[in-house]
Structure formats: structure tokens, C-alpha cells
């Protein structure tokens, strides 16, 4: 996709046609990204339902969540926050799990950080 010049960009970033977000890859500026963890996903699709960027990839035929569209994911972490499996991960009394704890189903890791 060829970058647009200043004369071709709409005034004030107006959206002139609906459904054009696919053309704009916004994942390159995120600070965090979702990663699958060790906990077994139950494929409840809560992450898919709440993702504001439609960045949860789903295999509709097998009814399974398959991963993340990192070209459009902005790293907001809503998928991890809403995940019911993450809420049920066993932890010690009074322990708060880090967002990137490997025991979670959906982890939120810092962009550029090597996965463990």
C-alpha cells in the first residue's frame, strides 16, 4: 500500500467510507501485545467479542480461537482482562499475577520482549 500524501488525506482524519480499517495497519505502534499462555483456552470467544479492533483470529469451522492479528492489534489488553480462564488461574493467597505471567491463557507482554 502506497503512503498517501498530505493532499490525499481527508481533513481532520474524517472517515469517508465505512469498513476501511482493514487498509490501515496500526499494530506497529503498540507498546504491548497479546500472547497465548500455558492455560488451556476454553474457546468462549469473550476475547473476540470484546476486542475493539477485531484482532482475535477464529477458526469458525472448528469453533476455536487461533491467535491474534498483530497487524491491527493495538495492545489494549482487553482480551486478557475479559478472559474467564485468566480469572481462574490458581495463585497463592494475596498474589497478584503479572500481565505476562506464563500461567495465563492470554498474556500481555511488552513489545520487543522475547517470549519465555
* Per-residue confidence (pLDDT) for residue 89, from 0 to 100: 87
- Of 10-14, 23-27, 102-106, which gets the smallest average pLDDT? 10-14
Residue 85, pLDDT score: 95
pLDDT in tens, 25-64: 787 888 999 999 999 999 999 999 999 989 999 999 999 9
**Residue 69 forms part of a structural domain:** yes
Specify the pLDDT at position 96. 82
Report the alpha-carbon distance of residue 56 to residue 53 in Å, rounded: 8
3-state secondary structure of 83: coil
Mean of per-residue pLDDT scores for the chain: 87
**77 located within any domain:** yes
Whole-angstrom Cα distance, residue 71 to residue 16?
Answer: 22
Judge whether 7 lies within some domain: no
The answer as to whether 102 is a domain residue is yes
Q: CA angle, corner 114, sides to 113 and 116, nearest 5?
A: 120
How much of the chain, in percent, has pLDDT values that exceed 90? Answer: 57
Residue 115 in any domain: the answer is no
Would residue 11 count as lying in a domain?
no
Taking the C-alpha atoms of residue 43 and residue 3, their distance in angstroms, rounded to an integer, is 37
Among the listed residues 62, 54, 111, the one whose alpha carbon sits nearest the alpha carbon of residue 79? 54
pLDDT at 49: 96
Task: Tell me how many domains the chain contains.
Answer: 1
13: pLDDT confidence band, cut at 50, 70 and 90? Answer: low
- Provide the residue range defining the domain that includes 63: 26-90+98-110
What is the CATH number for 55?
3.30.70.20
Helices and strands (DSSP H and E) totals, the chain? 3, 4
Residue 13 zone, left/alpha/beta (φ > 0; ψ -120 to 50; rest): left
Amino acid at each position: 500500500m502506497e503512503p498517501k500524501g498530505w493532499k490525499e488525506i481527508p481533513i481532520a482524519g474524517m472517515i469517508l467510507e465505512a469498513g476501511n480499517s482493514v487498509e490501515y495497519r496500526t499494530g506497529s505502534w503498540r507498546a504491548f501485545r497479546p500472547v497465548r499462555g500455558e492455560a488451556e483456552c476454553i474457546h468462549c470467544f469473550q476475547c473476540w467479542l470484546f476486542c475493539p479492533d477485531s484482532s482475535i483470529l477464529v477458526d469458525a469451522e472448528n469453533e476455536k480461537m487461533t491467535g491474534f492479528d498483530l497487524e491491527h492489534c493495538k495492545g489494549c489488553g482487553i482480551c486478557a482482562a475479559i478472559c474467564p480462564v485468566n480469572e481462574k488461574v490458581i495463585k497463592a493467597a494475596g498474589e497478584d499475577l503479572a500481565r505476562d505471567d506464563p500461567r495465563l491463557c492470554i498474556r500481555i507482554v511488552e513489545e520487543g520482549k522475547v517470549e519465555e
